[in-house]
Structure 1
Amino acid sequence: MNLTVFGATGGIGREIVRQALDAGHRVTAVVRDPARLTVTGDRLEVFRSGLVDPEAVRPAVAGRDAVLSGLGARSRKDAGVAARLTRTVLRAMEAEGTRRLLVVSAGPVGPGPEGDGFLDRTARSLVSAVLKDVYADLREMEAELARSATDWTVVRPPRLQDKPLTGTYRTVTGGFPPHGRFIARADVAHAMLSLADDPAAVKQGVGVAY
């Protein structure tokens, strides 16, 4: 496939680029600072953009089979960037007629798992309270997606870890895996690439966890 990756210097975005190249895809990595992109490859194009102007982003998404985004707040003080930057991506995609888009959100933004126990519900509530501004940003981002003309998928992980790829995790479309508390960024990237050509995931939120 011919893919574009936004947030390519972040933990998940960098893994998407690396795994996509390893799988033989052509990748356009959209970054603000190319020097921060440590992944290299013959099928990699680096596109520099601050994601301010949708018109400037259009060449990065034109003719692509799918767009994958790891954009999001890296800390509470960055709350607001996910919706704002994703809005730029959406406008560029709609202008070019590029339809497939996969983004990262967070488990607590979606519905809780069926049969969730007291401890898991309490933990979700505490995390949601601490990160309320970040999650409000992600909810606004998801609302923007729902209003868009794209064939979107929202991937919702729990707490992220910097661990090696396993390729073994659980996914629940429209929900969240019971007792799912952790997942590696590498496995979130793997899930996104796996879902890119899955028609059952279009216009769905997908919970992913170990």
Structure 2
Amino acid sequence: MAHVLVIGASQGIGFETVKAALAAGHQVRAFARSAEKIALSDPNLELRQGDALKENDIAAALTGIDVVVQALGVPARELLGPVRLFSEATGILVPAMEKAGIRRLVAVTGFGSGDSRQAISLLQRLPFRLVFGRAYDDKDAQEMRIRRSGLDWTLVRPGVLTGGRATGRYRVLDTPSSWRNGLIARADVADFITGQIEDRSRIGKAVVLIHHALPV
């Protein structure tokens, strides 16, 4: 079993990944600014308070780690202003991992980032840009920084996120011709991420995760 650092562990996909990784028997270090509010108790869980934009916090959190999951998010109210969290945090994390000799990185971005932007349908493209444009421009820079690294990375691009329990009935779209937008439960994204902790078959690849494609 691996020692996993989850960055952005207090909510959303990060929180679900903490739960899924613990259930799979891994040791988990849950890293977040509000880590003390994570309402989980497990002998294999360590809560680590820290800021993903502070080099010292990230360097300290990487000690003894085998695999890093980066699952950052920004509040909806911040989407209309400049977004730099994803690129700046990645600009700190990647060299810190390289310095520490930690190679495996699973990073959550989203459908519409990087080269998957071309797969957005014409009907979805304008509202997507209006609402998420600034955030996804920053995710583009995040992905580019990861791709330029020497790490064993996998980019996880979920579709439209929903709540609820993991179903295990999701689609992993790993070729550009198959990429589509769709709904996906955060818990199912976490299930996929947890599988990537030990699965090396998708190193250097980007995948889109959905349950079913949205109508276009």
Structure 1 length-normalised TM? 0.89
Is the 2:7–2:52 Cα contact (8 Å) retained in structure 1? no
Q: 5+ unaligned residues in a row in structure 2: which ranges? A: 212-216
Task: Give the partner amino acid of 1:93.
Answer: M
Is the 1:83–1:137 Cα contact (8 Å) retained in structure 2? yes
CA offset at residue 23 of structure 1? 1.1
Tell me if 1:94 matches 2:103. no
Is the 2:157–2:206 Cα contact (8 Å) retained in structure 1? yes
- 1:105 pairs, out of 109, 129, 153, with 109
Percent identical among aligned pairs is 29
- Alignment length (residue pairs): 207
CA offset at residue 127 of structure 1? 1.1
- Partner residue in 2 for 1:2: 3
Using the alignment, how far apart are the partners of 2:194 and 2:17 within structure 1? 7
- Partner residue in 1 for 2:148: 147
Is the 2:82–2:134 Cα contact (8 Å) retained in structure 1? no
- Partner residue in 2 for 1:185: 186
- Partner residue in 2 for 1:51: 52
How much is the aligned-residue C-alpha RMSD, in angstroms? 2.2
**Aligned in 2, Cα 1:35/1:205: closer, same or farther, shift over 3 Å?**
same
Residue by residue, what CA displacement relative to the aligned partner does 1:35-83 show, whole Å, maximum 9, x if unpaired?
3212221101111111233233223223322110111323204721111
- Partner residue in 2 for 1:35: 36
**Aligned in 2, Cα 1:164/1:53: closer, same or farther, shift over 3 Å?**
same
Task: Give the partner amino acid of 1:132.
Answer: G
Secondary structure, aligned partner of 2:172: strand
Secondary structure, aligned partner of 1:199: coil
After TM superposition, the structure 1 = structure 2 runs for residues 109-120 of structure 1, keeping only pairs within 5 Å, are 109-112=113-116, 120=121
**Aligned in 2, Cα 1:176/1:84: closer, same or farther, shift over 3 Å?**
farther
